[in-house]
Amino acid sequence: MMDFPALKNDLFLRVLKGEKVERAPVWCMRQAGRYLPEFREIRVENEFFKVCRTPELACEVTIQPISRYRGLLDAAIIFSDILVVPQAMGLEVLMVPGKGPHFPDPLVTPSDFKRLIDKSEGYDPHEQLGYVYDAISLTRKKLFGIVPLIGFIGAPWTLMAYMIEGGGSKTFSKAKAWLWKYPEQAHELLDRVASVSIEFLKGQVRAGAQALQVFDSWAGELSNEDYLEFSFPYISKIAQEVSAEFPDIPMIVFPKGVHPETIKEIALGTKYTAISLDWTIDPKSLITELEPEMKKINKPLILQGNLDPTVLFGDKEIIQKKTESMIKQFSSTNHIANLGHGMLPNHDPEHLKWYLEAVHKYSQL
């Protein structure tokens, strides 16, 4: 392991160890992004994936929110994207301004697997991602231990959805059709993505990531039964294999949009340290049902979330009120405050500050 500056604020990591802490740590998905003028300024001269691929730029934008909200954020997340994995497996991905990700040649049928590159002589997808490792190591140095650094991946099902759909979608019907037309090959694809993802997460830890998050952004497109067949085994394998090598690195999973039943399955049946909830989940009733079950398996219930990001369009008073009520709902368990999904490009940075201050105020023991 490399030598990095000693960590000063370990609140986030202590909650993830199951410890009772003095207040809820807080960070936000997409805390580095277009709602920040200092980020938009960098983007004027630099295309999105160029920022990801240039460690100095990725480091700079990762630290932007930490500097702006001095003392208010308890973790940084490395600036990158979940779609760097499909890129490393040989698919072209462009970021189209105003539209989002675009794959010029998505996977149409399983015969397109011939365009995917796996580990073979002289090629290893995870080695293609060396720029992420470099960005992580540089950021660990430049953070001076102010807060811990989170590494991340997209879950295999979410990546498969993009690889087949070719971009965002309202229904994800092309990707979902694969599950029924080519179930065996769908499993093969999910497994191939999972294998690269496992190596990629281990590489991020070796480079200096102190916690990991798995984004399953399109989990909610699947029924509980289908999630258990097509996503759960792969996110589960990822946690199993990464934690076998790095038992002290906490892992968080964000299964956006799933039924509470699915969340219970994940909490009880996988190695994830914590689960991030979207805003549609009622924390209180989930905790009431899950806590006794978790006790039986001797695992602490650690949850992250889950303020509706659109609350940040409200004024200071409403942000404080909604934050206080969110904090209260989680008060009986170990809680990391976050949003139920990412910051939006038209959020006002000042409003995020009100949210962060409210978390500090209302979660104080």
Ligand X SMILES: Cc1c2[nH]c(c1CCC(=O)O)Cc1[nH]c(c(CCC(=O)O)c1C)Cc1[nH]c(c(CCC(=O)O)c1C)Cc1[nH]c(c(C)c1CCC(=O)O)C2
Minimum Å gap between C-beta 316 and ligand X is 24
Catalytic residue among 10, 35, 74, 81: 81
Tell me which residue has tokens 């002589």.
121
If one asks whether residue 305 binds ligand X (CB under 6 A), the answer comes out as no
Is 123 among the catalytic positions? no
Minimum Å gap between C-beta 78 and ligand X is 7
Contact present, 59 and 143 (Cβ < 8 Å): no
In the complex with ligand X, the residue whose CB is nearer, 43 or 353, is 43
In the complex with ligand X, the residue whose CB is nearer, 172 or 215, is 215
In the complex with ligand X, the residue whose CB is nearer, 139 or 243, is 139
In the complex with ligand X, the residue whose CB is nearer, 305 or 362, is 305
In the complex with ligand X, the residue whose CB is nearer, 94 or 318, is 94
Token output for 349: 């940075």
Catalytic residue among 14, 43, 68, 206: 43
Is 34 among the catalytic positions? yes
Strand intervals (E) in the chain: 76-77, 94-96, 100-102, 149-154, 211-216, 251-255, 274-276, 302-307, 334-339
Token output for 242: 């990464």
Contact present, 218 and 158 (Cβ < 8 Å): yes
Contact string 60-89 vs ligand X (x = CB under 6 A)? -----------------x-xxxxx------
Total H helices, total E strands in the chain = 16, 9
Token output for 204: 């991020």
Give the interface segment with ligand X, choosing from 28-36, 178-186, 232-240, 294-302 (CB under 6 A): 28-36
SS3 111: helix
> Of the candidates 354, 352, 341, 72, which has an alpha carbon nearest to the alpha carbon of residue 216?
341
Alpha-carbon gap, residue 275 to 234, rounded angstroms = 16
In the complex with ligand X, the residue whose CB is nearer, 287 or 352, is 352
Count the residues of the shown chain that bind ligand X, applying the rule CB under 6 A: 22
If one asks whether residue 309 binds ligand X (CB under 6 A), the answer comes out as no
Is 68 among the catalytic positions? no
If one asks whether residue 31 binds ligand X (CB under 6 A), the answer comes out as yes
Tell me which residue has tokens 């037309």.
181
Token output for 133: 């490792």
CA 223, chain centre distance (Å): 21
Token output for 72: 């208010």
Q: Which of residues 242-301 bind ligand X (CB under 6 A)?
A: none
If one asks whether residue 29 binds ligand X (CB under 6 A), the answer comes out as yes
Strand intervals (E) in 110-224: 149-154, 211-216
Catalytic residue among 34, 68, 131, 308: 34
Minimum Å gap between C-beta 29 and ligand X is 5
> Of the candidates 69, 72, 57, which has an alpha carbon nearest to the alpha carbon of residue 142?
57
Q: Which of residues 166-225 bind ligand X (CB under 6 A)?
A: 168, 215, 217
Give the interface segment with ligand X, choosing from 26-34, 85-93, 133-141, 193-201 (CB under 6 A): 26-34
Q: How many CA atoms lie within 13 A of 328 on its CB side?
A: 6
Is 315 among the catalytic positions? no
Write out the residues near ligand X by the rule CB under 6 A: 29-34, 43, 48, 77, 79-83, 95, 100-101, 152, 168, 215, 217, 342
The residues annotated as belonging to the active site are 30, 34, 43, 81, 162
